[in-house]
Homo-oligomer: A and B are copies of this chain.
Amino acid sequence: METNNPKYKGQGIHVMAAIFTVDHGITKVLLVERRNEPFYGMWALPGGALYNDESVEDGMNRELLEKTGLTVPNLRLCNVFGRVDRSPCMRMVGVSYLGVIDRFKVQLLTSTLKTSNADWFSIEDIPPLAYDHEEILKDALEKLKENIVESDLLETLFPKEFTLPEVQKVYESILGVTYDRRNFRKKMLSLDLIEDTNQTAKFEGKKPAKLYRFKKGRKQKRIL
């Protein structure tokens, strides 16, 4: 077979994830600090080399768990990075994934075998990244804007109850726009996606906001 043809020899697949969160109106991304060469000490998107005995998606989930302790639902393919020289050691094709999660509802591993730190960085203030991860992150942010209008990605951020001002703030942060509160509410309520829980919660400390939840068994829908 072609395994011994030098044309194809020594290729590998690199998976990495851009996991976003919204923290008090600031869109942030999850980065890890490398404990090994190459790029020792630099920050990077969590990820690593794909094993032979796992699917690409399984590899992505394994790497995320190993390097950050997180299991992120609704991960989706983001892009493929295929430049010949994008990795200094061997020919690695990069496959990026996109996800969102509520950083306050998960516990981050800040040190693992291969990472010496992990943290959330404002997308306005990203340190220099290993490999071509700056390009990959920039691309993922564009895809995030296209994808956040999908209801199931939103549910990943709000798996239980949520208030409408919370949801609005997420959209405004990620998309970099502002919406009229009445129109946003009207739109969300008209989609038959969420239901009132008849409870209230304080979102930002003043008048209590109504709590909603996603309806069961709904279809994925475009929200905005």
Contact = CB atoms under 8 A, between A and B. Distances in A.
Interface in A1-43: 1-3, 6-13
A224 interface: no
Total identical chains: 2
A49 B2 contact: yes
A82 interface: yes
A179 interface: no
A83 B3 CA distance: 18
A126 interface: no
Contacts of A56: 80-82, 93
Interface stretch (A84-92, A104-112, A161-169, A201-209): A84-92
Could you say which of A2, A6, A57, A93 has the most chain B C-beta atoms within 10 Å of its C-beta?
Answer: A93
Given A79-B77, A80-B80, A82-B57, A91 B8 contact: no
Interface residues of A, number: 33
A53 B84 contact: yes
Nearest to A97: B80
A52 interface: yes
A198 interface: no
B52 A91 contact: yes
Nearest to A95: B80
19 contacts: A1-B89, A1-B90, A2-B49, A2-B89, A3-B10, A3-B90, A7-B52, A7-B53, A8-B51, A13-B13, A13-B93, A50-B82, A50-B93, A54-B84, A55-B82, A57-B82, A59-B82, A77-B80, A80-B80
